[in-house]
Amino acid sequence: MKHLIFLIICFCISYNSFTQNYTKVSNIKELEVRLTDNSKSLTTIVADFTQEKHLAFLDEKIISTGKFWLREANSIRWEYNNPFSHIIIIHDGKFRTRDGKGKTSSFDINSNPVFKEVNNLIVSSARGDLIADNKFDVEAFENQTSYKLILTPKDEKIKQVINKTELYFDKELLSVYKVVMIEGETDFTIITFTNRVFNANIPNSIFNID
């Protein structure tokens, strides 16, 4: 469970910080079709990421950087390189971690129904295909360069863990450049993806923790 908490903290953000300069999308069904079709064309994503973590009990934000890999529907690797080393891998129904000292841990995702849904949420968020998921109430907004989706879980158990999810897409590529999961009103983290590469070959070894 402590790893679940670690993962959720990595995705928390304040809703109010990102509501400016967006207007409501007039035809959400049309946008849903476009985003869903685009996500179907994605088999892999490789990107660098920067994480800014803001916690109410700390005066300064914590900035981390690393590498991200996603392959198809169920394989993710988060590799934090700076200022600390930490690896999170979701693959073949397992959640595995390795810290900077080489200590590893693993558990079955399916053993915890709430975490299973959180895992699905994370994978679908990175792919950008949550807009068609009937487990969420969806609001869609846009500005000149981006779309923003705000997704609220309908399941109260999930809502207790992640209150809202925000996805930011660039209009040119229709790809996610920022994933946001809201836990509360004060503690939040911003994850921004850069140097994105789509549909590149990712070997199985990327999802090994050893």
Where are any strands of DSSP class E within 83-187? Answer: 86-91, 94-99, 104-108, 136-142, 146-153, 164-170, 175-182
The CATH-assigned architecture of domain 2-193 is: Clam (2.50)
pLDDT grade, residue 19 (50/70/90)? very low
159: CB partners within 8 A, 6+ apart: 152, 153
The whole-number pLDDT of residue 56 equals 66
The alpha-helical segments, DSSP class H, found in 76-167 are 113-127, 156-161
pLDDT confidence of residue 23: 95
List the domain boundaries for the chain.
Answer: 2-193
Predicted local distance difference test score (pLDDT) of residue 2: 43
Amino acid at 195: N
Q: Give the DSSP H or E segment for 39.
A: helix 28-40
Tokens 């968020």 belong to which residue? 125
- State percent of the chain over pLDDT 90: 32
Residue-wise pLDDT tens digits, 29-75: 898 888 888 888 888 999 999 987 767 676 778 899 999 999 876 78
Q: Phi then psi for 59, rounded to 5 degrees?
A: -80, -30
